[in-house]
Structure 1
Amino acid sequence: MPLSPAGLNAPLRRLTSALLPVALLTLPLPALAAPDAAPADDELPVAEIQAFAEVFERIKRAYVEEVDDATLLRNAMRGMLSELDPHSTYLDAEDYQSLQESTQGEFGGVGIEVGKRDGQLTVITPIDDTPASRAGLEAQDVILRIDDTPTEGLSLQEAVDLMRGDPGTEIRLTIMRQGESAPREVSIEREIIRTESVKQELLAPGYGYLRISQFQTRTGQQVVEALETLREEGPLQGLVLDLRNNPGGVLQAAVEVADAFLDHGLIVYTEGRLPDSAMRFSAHRDTAAPEVPLVVLINGGSASAAEIVAGALQDQRRGVVMGTESFGKGSVQQIMPLGENEALKLTTARYFTPSGRSIQALGISPDVEVVRGRLEVAENTGLRVREADLEGHLAGNGESDERSELSARLRDDYQLGEALNLLKALNVLGERGTAVTEPPASSE
């Protein structure tokens, strides 16, 4: 039987009280009595809610298998959000915890990187100064069991989930090590593991390399520390900032990273329907690397916060953006907790680069387009292979294994090699850019 439009029947009262308790507190009573009137923005569409309640009740009564109310309501929330945009979603307890761990870079675990090799769960490397490294786990160890659960047949994510847990709890790993005839069992107490989103190294004397894998809460601080570490090797003549395949992350972290290279000017601003979604972020005078020549590497996997950094440095003429066009995610999501263990991730604003560009569905276009590839010597070109390029060549007096490995890496990563060449050329020519100092008058 259809619901009466004259009032709210029992199923509708039960549904709306469970689904919209806050809205009902502020809903004007005349709106319930006059469903045919044009609803105001803050009024609930009674006819649509009645139809929703009827669908809810019919599923409860007639679906082939019994479905509990909580499952139906959570599915309804997921459905509402899935039709908005790809980044708005309902987060259950597990999803919410994973998001927090990802953005904070902290989780309860043992501190190992694992992967699947020949179908077996294998230790890639134990992280320094973690329970796993102190317990003596080594690269290439095969994990046969996690507590009492065999790892055979488990997906990589299922295995990771089993190894993570509350700090202070114990986990037993049964491992098989190469050269040993029998498995060994290792008991490890979980601790808070902090992941590093920034890595640094020298590509050549005076030329540094910063790789940011994602933007976490502590990424800005890690960038400053990485720059200090590079400077300990001597003055920096150039720097490659690698944002390739960086999916983004925390907006504030992107602002802090851009601020490390800018000493003035706008970094990013956001606009949305809510008053608190309109924000502007500018650089501070005190900065970590205001003068070092900079090349920023991006590609189609550089998204969101990575695009904020690349766009700010490009607009402010602080560095040369090199690579291929970025992903094009120009929206900002806000995390809205629902109770203690659930949350709503909702797109609430668009962000704009200092010059007023919205890169939503467009991306950042590089100043210098360089497609990823491997440098190969073509036949019949007259180019010759040097002794240092031959595999297994005798090392010279001034050549280290580390430098030899780096040379091979630069040949394998054509974009990185071209970035280093550009930095050297900029130093030879003595070219420097001037920053954009005036923010746009309006984004409209």
Structure 2
Amino acid sequence: MLHLRRFARPSTLILAMLLGMHGSAWAQQPPADLVLPPEALEDTGNKAPLPLEELRTFVEVLDRIKAAYVEPVDDKTLLENAIKGMLSNLDPHSAYLEPEAFAELQESTTGEFGGLGIEVGVEDGFIKVVSPIDDTPASKAGIEAGDLIVKIDGKPTKGLSMIEAVGMMRGKPGTDINLSLVREGGKPFDVKLTRAIIKVTSVKSQMLEPGYGYLRITQFQINTGEEVGKALARLKKNNEGKKLNGLVLDLRNNPGGVLQAAVEVSDHFLSSGLIVYTQGRIANSELRFNADPADASEGVALVVLINGGSASASEIVAGALQDQKRAVVMGTDSFGKGSVQTVLPLNNDRALKLTTALYYTPNGRSIQAQGIEPDIEVTRAKLTREQAAESLREADLAGHLGNGNGGPDRPSGSKAGGDSPRPQDDDYQLGQALNLLKGLNLTRGK
């Protein structure tokens, strides 16, 4: 059981709170935001009368199908299809979870699962890639956020539900699958992938330059908050034990995950104030999360990178740090998934995943269908470096005077660094984030 110390009503929760947003083609169903026992949504006495006429119509349709359909259909199939229809027509994130899907949902935040490593959603009847997960078959094959999956193993996806598409992409590790993709309105192209056991490393960190750190969160898992704390300590140690001059927090293509992890990550950079709150029709959906006084980041200058694949829990972190004026948010607009799903276990190993609330940033902004707008928009760009013409400098001239302050000579080519590549060299957005941090430190006299 996850310890939920900031919850207004912790007794109502039976599983980890999650903030996933889409289907996950890694052998799991779409994760949810809240998991409550059925009694948490018990009616308070304001039940509406049963729509008897509509119920009579439902029974009549059921009888007509059983009597006249070209092939026999059993009652169980018809009733389960009716339940699925009720949920699928509410919103893209509500669903009826059968036993296998419910079991996979409960295992979805362990960080290890089988599949492709791709988050998908539905847009205009097509299956759309929301974000590939780092170091998975999908990311290695070059699949990008925004790609439309038009065929799966030759079968058109138009009209498929998200759960149906996810089911087709799941499979035994080691087996192959062919996806036909369309990118930015171009011609379809095929990608062959091999399903694998996906082991997601939630937190990655490294030094970009002396004094400047990089911290990437690929997905919010149960232990992500703890891992971010360790990463911050590790970055300080790698900076000779001194406080960092600046840090880039990379949330690009992070599809979300555990809500409590998003709260804990935000709390590492905040010492007071509201982080996020939720509002819905049921009392148990109204929750508020506040920061603790400790600041593991030591107030380091912070830039948060987001893009269209940053969703849900990622948007909570970016929105909290933006509203609290704790960070500069850079990149492109985030995905805009600001609804909360509650998983309601049923009594037959099945469950309902039902949208029950919206979540809001500290300033009261709803992220739903709008997303987080960056403070500084920086789109992705491909860098090409021109070969600089060799030129002479004063220090190259024979008999030049030495530096009057005793500094070393700097002839042409003397500033060429090592040949080892750096992440910011081929990542324009990351390079701009680092430049901004340097500029902030210059103006602050650091």
Normalised-by-shorter TM-score class: 0.5 to 0.7
**Distance in 1 between residues matched to 2:81 and 2:70, nearest whole Å:** 17
User: TM-score if structure 2 supplies the norm length?
Assistant: 0.64
Aligned counterparts, 1:134-283, within 5 A: 157-160=170-173, 195-234=200-239, 235=242, 236-283=244-291
Share of identical aligned residues, percent? 58
Distance in 2 (alpha carbons) for counterparts of 1:88 and 1:117: 27
Within 5 A, what are the aligned runs for 1:7-406?
A: 41-106=47-112, 115=137, 157-160=170-173, 195-234=200-239, 235=242, 236-339=244-347, 341-377=349-385, 384=388, 400=418, 404-406=420-422
Q: Which structure 2 residue ranges, 5 or more long, are not aligned?
A: 1-37, 116-134, 142-167, 177-196, 392-412
Per the alignment, do residues 87 and 261 of structure 1 end up closer, same or farther by CA in structure 2, a change over 3 Å counting?
same
Letter in 2 for 1:258: S
2: CA distance between counterparts of 1:422 and 1:117?
A: 28
Letter paired with 2:438: K
C-alpha contact 2:203 2:217 (8 A) present in aligned 1 = yes
Q: Match for 1:405: what amino acid?
A: P
Q: How far apart, CA to CA, are the structure 2 residues paired with 1:342 and 1:115?
A: 30
Mapped contact 2:320–2:362 kept (Cα < 8 A): yes
Q: Following TM superposition, by how much is the alpha carbon of 1:252 offset from its aligned partner in structure 2, in angstroms? A: 1.4
* Runs of 4+ in structure 1 over 6 Å off: 116-119, 395-398
2:322, 2:329 within 8 Å by CA — same for their partners in 1? yes
1:418-429 to 2 correspondences below 5 Å: 418-429=432-443
Cα distance change, pair 338–161 in 1 and its aligned pair in 2 (3 A): farther
**1:98 aligned partner, one-letter code:** E
- Partner SS for 1:199: strand
Shift of 1:397: 11
Indicate the residue corresponding to 1:185 in structure 2: none
Q: What is the alpha-carbon distance in structure 2 between the residues aligned to residue 322 and residue 292 of structure 1?
A: 16
Secondary structure, in 3 states, of the residue corresponding to 2:383?
A: coil
The verdict on how the C-alpha distance between 1:332 and 1:117 changes in structure 2, with shifts beyond 3 A counting, is closer
CA distance in 1, matches of 2:136, 2:104: 18
Answer yes or no: is the 8 Å Cα contact 1:312–1:354 preserved in 2: yes
Give how far 1:341 is off: 3.1
**What's the Cα RMSD here?**
3.6
Deviations 1:12-69 (A, max 9, x none): xxxxxxxxx99xx99x9xxxxxxxxxxx734321211121111122222221222222
Larger CA deviation: 54-63 vs 411-420: 54-63
Q: What secondary structure is seen at the aligned counterpart in 2 of 1:208?
A: strand
Quick one: which amino acid aligns to residue 83 of structure 1? N
- Find the counterpart in structure 2 of residue 183 from structure 1: none
Question: Which amino acid in 2 is paired with 1:422?
Answer: L
CA positional deviation for 1:195: 4.0
1:222 maps to a residue whose letter is E
Residue identity matched to 1:341: D
CA distance in 2, matches of 1:213, 1:118: 15
- Higher gyration radius (CA): 1
- 8 Å CA contact 2:114, 2:173 repeated in 1: no
The TM-score with structure 1 as length reference comes to 0.64
**Paired residue type of 2:440:** L
List per-residue Cα deviations over 1:89-130 (Å, max 9, x = no partner): 111222223322323435599xxx7749999xxxxxxxxxxx
Larger proportion of helix = 1
> Offset of 1:298 from its aligned partner?
0.4
Instruction: Count residues with an aligned counterpart.
Output: 319
Distance 1:117 1:348, change over 3 A: closer
2:431 to 396, 417, 423: 417
Distance in 1, Cα, partners of 2:327 & 2:367: 18
C-alpha distance 102-431 of structure 1, shift in aligned 2 (>3 A): farther
> Does the CA-based 8 Å contact 2:308-2:333 persist in structure 1?
yes
Deviation at 1:384, TM superposition (A): 2.9
Alignment CA distance shift 1:55-1:115 (3 Å): same
- Distance in 2 between residues matched to 1:80 and 1:315, nearest whole Å: 37
SS in 2 for 1:258: helix
Q: Which has the higher contact order (CA 8 A, sep 6+)?
A: 2
Matched residue of 1:103: which SS?
Answer: coil
**308-317 vs 243-252, greater mean Cα deviation:** 243-252
Secondary structure in 2 aligned to 1:301?
Answer: coil
Residues 116 and 213 of structure 1, relative CA distance in 2, 3 Å threshold: closer
Change (3 A) 1:161 1:50: farther
